[in-house]
Amino acid sequence: MERSVDVAVIGAGTAGLAAVSQVRQANKSFVLINGGELGTTCARVGCMPSKALIQVGHDLHRRQLFDREGIEGGEGLSANLPDVLEHVRDLRDILVDRVLGNSTDQMEEEFLDGYARFVEPGRLQVGDEVIQAENIIIACGTRPVVPPAWVDFGDRILTSDT
């Protein structure tokens, strides 16, 4: 199958969704292509889940202030890291669902689930489909890099993909 569009956007993260928003405002035809997990970096692995983790840290730190406030037993509180991370991931899932509910869920034929590959200038292949696009926006995101000197720390290093 082959189709032509004004704009093909590769990547359904923050940049890709912002691009689609602009393309829609310009009344241009488009496809949004995404391989892998959906959800913006902010909602899926960035600022939103990291803020939840930071809040847990603040909550745990406050136990040191309980005695001053007349609350006893704070020194016995501790964090169970696997449970903390499960809480953060549960919250992340809720946030990602909200982001997707306001973006890709509203697309029908415009959304293609798969990886794009250039077959020639202005032409992409996604699975069995070929897309001819006047403009192509590549917004495929990044991955965290752990410096070689830190690799020995193993699972003690937390990245956005932890």
Per-residue pLDDT at 134 exceeds 70: yes
Q: Where are the beta strands (DSSP E) in 23-115?
A: 30-34, 111-113
Q: How far apart are CA 50 and CA 66, in angstroms?
A: 25
Residue 154 CB neighbour total at 10 angstroms: 8
**Is 37 a residue whose pLDDT tops 70?**
yes
Q: Which whole number is the average pLDDT over 10-14?
A: 88
| Domains (range + CATH), the chain | 2-145 (3.50.50.60)
- Bridge partners (DSSP) of residue 34 are 113
Please say if the pLDDT value at position 13 is more than 90.
Answer: no
- Whole-model pTM above 0.85? no
Residues 6+ apart with CB under 8 A from 130: 1, 2, 3, 119, 123, 124
- What are the pLDDT digits (tens) for 63-116? 988 888 999 888 889 999 999 999 999 998 888 887 766 666 677 789 999 999
Averaged pLDDT score across all residues of the chain:
88
Pick 107 or 62 by higher pLDDT: 62
**Nearest-angstrom CA–CA distance, 88 and 94:** 10
